[in-house]
Structure 1
C-alpha cells in the first residue's frame, strides 16, 4: 500500500504539499472552511436530487393514439414546465370562445411579476398583449407569463388551476392535478407520462393554428427576443417540431416531443432525465423506436375535443391588478328541478281584463310612488355593502318594491259566453297603391366579390396543397371563402374567392408578414 502511495506521489509531484497548504490555511480561517463545506453539501444534494428523479416514458402514434412503448407511464410525477402546455391549451380555448383575444392587454399583477425564473421579466402594473405572453410561455417557458395568462383567463391563479384540472379530466388525463399555471414544484401538482402525451396530442390536433409556436427557434415577446428551450432537439432531430421541455430538481429533465416524417407522426414523452443532453438523446431514441414500430400508412383518428365549459363555477375577477387570491364565488340555489305541466283552460271561459275599483292616479303620481319605493329598497340594500345577500334578503328587497307599487289591474274570468259579432258583408276595401321599386347597385368594395391569388404552380396538385396550407395558416380571415384552382395558359393559379375588398387586403397583408406570396383580385366588370 505504501509503495502505491509513493508511486502516486511520484506521478503527481507537488500535489500533496499544495493540498496540505490549502488545508492549513482553511483551518486558520474557519468561516471559509464552513462555507466551502456547505457549498459542497448543497452541490452534492442537488446532484442527488436530480439523479433521484424517477424515470417514466411513453411513445404514441400521433395519428391513431396507439401506444407504441410505455414505462412507468402511469406513475404520478412532477411535470415541471410541461404544465405550461395546459396553460396554453386553455388560453387557446379561451381565445376561440371569445373570452379574450390575442390583442387583449393584460395588466401584470404582483403575483405574476414575483414568479421565480425562468421568466420574461414582467413588472407589476405593466400591460402586455396576450400574444406576447403566449410566445414567452411556449418558447422561453416563462413562469411570469404563464401566471399572467392564468389570471387573465380565470381571474386568479387558483381559479385557473381548478379549470386546468377540470380540463385535464375532460381530456382523459385521469391522474393529473394542477395547482399552478407554471409547473414549479407544489404539493399535489402531479401528472404522468401517459397524461402529458395525451395533452401533447390534443394540442396538435385541437389547436393546429397555434402549434407552429412550438417549432420556432426564437420569437419576439415584446419585452425581448426569446429563444426556444427545446432548440437543441429541434435542430438535431429530423422532423422534430415540438413540443415542450420542463425541469425542476424534483422532476428532473422532462420533455414532450413530436416529430413528423412523411405521413407518420410520433409523440414521445420522458420524465426524470438526468440532464438536458441525456434527456434529448433518450427522446431521440424513443422517437426512432416509434417510427420503426408505427405503420407507414394509418387512418387518422383525431382525438375528440372536450365541450367548452369556460370558467364554470368561477367568478372572474376584474382586470385590475391583484395579489393572486381567488375571487369569491356566488352560487344561487334557486334552480328549478321540475317543470310542471300547465292545466288546460276550460273551453267555455272567456278571459277579460277588468280594472280594479281604485282611485285613479295620474302618470306623475304613479311614477313618483314607484321611484320612492325603489329608492327606499336601494338604500336598505346599500347598508350591507360588505355582506353577501342571501336568498331571504333578495326576496325581501323585491317584496318591498312590489308592495309599494299601486295595483293597476287584474284579470278575472268572465263566463257570460259572449259570441263575436259577425263581420258585415258589405265592407269596402280601399285600393292599395303599389310600392315603389327601389333599384340598388351592389358595392364591389363591401360585397364578397373580391379574391386573393397566393401563387401560380405547374400542376393542380401543388396549387391545391398550397391553398390548404394557406387556409390553415390564416384561418381567421379566410374562413368561409372558396378555394379554387384556376387554370391558365401559364399554369395553375391558387385563389381564394368570396372576400370583401377589406378582407382581401387584410389577408394579403397578414400573409405578406409571413413571407407568403399574395395579391388581391378585384371584381370583374
Structure 2
C-alpha cells in the first residue's frame, strides 16, 4: 500500500529537530549534517558551517593522501613506513610503535581506521610529506581542491591544534570524496577489528556492523571538540553520509547518529512513495505549461512596480532540509488521507496584515505548491522566519495555488528573491495586499 505522505516545508514528515537531545542541542560544540551522496540532497543540517575541531576525523584526510600516493605509485601496500622518534612519542591513542620500527602501508591504513593510531598517522605524514608540518600544508591544499573551503590542517593525526579547524559540511564532502575517488580502498573503513603484535583492537566506530547499511567511516575526540563521528551508510539505491560533531559522550553521539540515519532513510523511502503516488493519482503538468501558469499569475497581480524575477527552464531536483534551526518546532503529521481531498481541505496560516511575501510559482495542486516551497527554502537565509503557504486563486477559469513565503519585511522579501534568482529559481516579491 503506497503511503499518501507529503513533504512538508522544512520537516519532510520527520521531526528531526526533536531527535536532538538537550545534551546535544544545548552543547555549543554540537553540529550535524546528513546528505544523500548520490544526489547531493541535504536531509539534515544544523550548525553545519560553524567552525569545529576535527580531532581524529583528520585521519580521513591523511588516508585520502595515502590512497592518492598508492594510486600514483609513490608507495605500495607492502612498502614499509619507518617510525621516527617524533611519531613514537605521540600522545594516545597509539599503536605503541617505537623509534626505528616499521609498519606496512596496508597495516597503517588499518591502524588509522580501526585504532585511530596517532603514532601511525604522524609516521604516514612524515613519509608522504617529508615532515608533519609540510604534510599539513599538503593536506590543506588538497582539501581545498576537493571543495573543503572551511578546513585547515596542521597535523596528520588530529591531536590538539587551535588552527586545525573544519565544519560538519566539509567533513561530509571529504567522506564523499573518499568513497568516490577510492572505492577500491573503501572496504578498509568497514573492518571491525585490527590485529597487531598479537593484540586485537576493535573499531571505535561501533555503528559499523551493528546498524544496517553502515560501512564506515571514522570517529574522533579531543577535549576541545567533543565526540565526533562521520558515518557512511547504504540501503538500496540510497547512500548517506552523516556527520555528528561535539557529542557529550561516545554513546550519545552514536545514538544520535543512528537516529539521524534511520530518520533520513525513512524520509527518502517516503519521498519515493510520494512521487510514485503522485505519478499514479495526480494530474500532471509539463514544465512549459507550468511556466506559462507562473507568467499568467504574475500578470494577474497587476503590479505597478518592477518585480524581481528569476528564470528556470524547469524545476531543479528536490532538495529538502530537515530541521535546520535550533528553535524549530515541527508538528507531527496528520493521519494519511485521500490526497485529492487533502489538497482541497488543506488549512493555510492566516495572512499577516502589512507583511510582504515571496512567490516562487503557481501550481495546479496545493501539494505541488508546498513541495516547491520545500525545494527552495534552503537557498536563502532570509526565508528562515518566513511562513510558507499555498494560496488558492482562480485565474481565467483555472484553479491554481500560489506557492508563497509570507510574513516577511520588504527587505527580507527582496533579499530572498535575489538569493533564489541567483540560483535560477523563479521568484518575485509581493507587496502587502497583493
- TM-score category of the 2 structures, normalised to the smaller one: 0.5 to 0.7
Report the secondary structure of 2:166's partner residue. coil
> Does the CA contact (< 8 Å) of 1:135 and 1:220 recur in 2?
no
C-alpha displacement of 1:212: 0.8
90, 96, 103: which one pairs with 1:115? Answer: 90
Q: Distance in 2 between matches of 1:111 and 1:150?
A: 11
1:89 is aligned to 64
CA contact 2:49–2:167 (8 Å) conserved in 1 = yes
Distance 1:211 1:203, change over 3 A: same
SS in 2 for 1:289: helix
2:142 alignment partner, SS class:
helix
Partner of residue 77, structure 2: 102
Residue matched to 1:243: 217
Instruction: Give yes or no for the alignment of 1:166 onto 2:141.
Output: yes
**2:200 matched to which residue of 1?**
225
Name which of 148, 158, 161 aligns with 1:183.
158
- In the alignment, which of 103, 117, 120 is matched to residue 128 of structure 1? 103
Please state whether the residue corresponding to 1:244 is helix, strand or coil.
strand
Q: 1:225 & 1:208 partners in 2: Cα distance?
A: 26
CA contact (8 A) 2:209 2:215 kept: no
> Which residue number in structure 2 is paired with residue 256 of structure 1?
230
| 1:276 partnered with 2:250 | yes
Q: Secondary structure at the match of 2:207?
A: helix
TM alignment of 1:274-353, pairs within 5 A: 274-294=248-268, 296=272
Residues 53 and 252, structure 1, Cα contact 8 Å, conserved in 2: no
Out of 134, 143, 166, which is 2:118 matched to? 143
Larger Rg belongs to: 1
Q: How far is the alpha carbon of 1:210 from its aligned partner?
A: 1.0
Q: How far apart are 1:222 and its partner, in Å?
A: 5.2
CA contact under 8 A between 1:157 and 1:180: conserved in structure 2? yes
Question: Aligned partners of 2:74 and 2:108: how far apart in 1?
Answer: 16
| Aligned 1:483-494 pairs, distance under 5 A | none
- How many pairs are equivalent? 249
The structural deviation recorded for 1:138 is 1.1
Contact (CA 8 Å) 1:119, 1:144: kept in 2 or not? yes
SS in 2 for 1:111: helix
Cα distance between partner residues in 1 of 2:145 and 2:47: 23
Q: Give, in whole Å, the separation in 2 of the partners of 1:97 and 1:184.
A: 28
CA distance, structure 2, for counterparts of residue 80 and residue 296 of structure 1 = 37
Secondary structure at the aligned position of 2:125 is classed as helix
Counterpart-to-counterpart distance in 1, 2:221 and 2:144:
24
Q: Distance in 1 between matches of 2:106 and 2:144?
A: 27
Q: Which has the higher contact order (CA 8 A, sep 6+)?
A: 2
Determine if contact 2:55/2:158 at 8 Å carries over to the other structure. Answer: yes
Aligned-residue offset at 1:155: 0.9
Structure 2: which 5+ residue stretches go unaligned?
Answer: 1-22, 276-316, 318-434
State the TM-score, normalizing by the size of structure 2.
0.55
Could you tell me how far apart the structure 2 residues matched to 1:148 and 1:229 are?
21
> SS of the counterpart of 1:151?
helix
Distance between the aligned counterparts of 1:207 and 1:221, measured in 2? 25
Q: TM-score, normalised by structure 1?
A: 0.46
Instruction: Report the counterpart of residue 64 of structure 1 in structure 2.
Output: 39
Kept in 1, the 8 Å contact 2:213–2:235? The answer is yes
2-structure distance, mates of 1:193, 1:285: 17
- CA contact 1:82–1:245 (8 Å) conserved in 2: yes
Residue 204 of structure 1 aligns with which residue? 179
Report SS of the residue matched to 2:185: helix
Report the Cα offset of residue 235 of structure 1. Answer: 3.5
Indicate conservation of the 8 Å contact 1:53/1:250, yes or no.
no
The 8 Å contact of residues 53 and 166 in structure 2, kept in 1 or not, is answered as yes
Task: Report the CA distance between 1:292 and its aligned residue.
Answer: 2.6
Q: Does the 8 Å contact 1:132/1:220 carry over to 2?
A: no
1:131 partner SS: helix
What is the Cα deviation at residue 154 of structure 1?
1.1
Question: Partner of 1:233: helix, strand, or coil?
Answer: coil
5+ unaligned residues in a row in structure 1: which ranges? 1-47, 302-525
SS of residue matched to 1:266: strand
- Deviating 4+ runs (over 6 angstroms): none
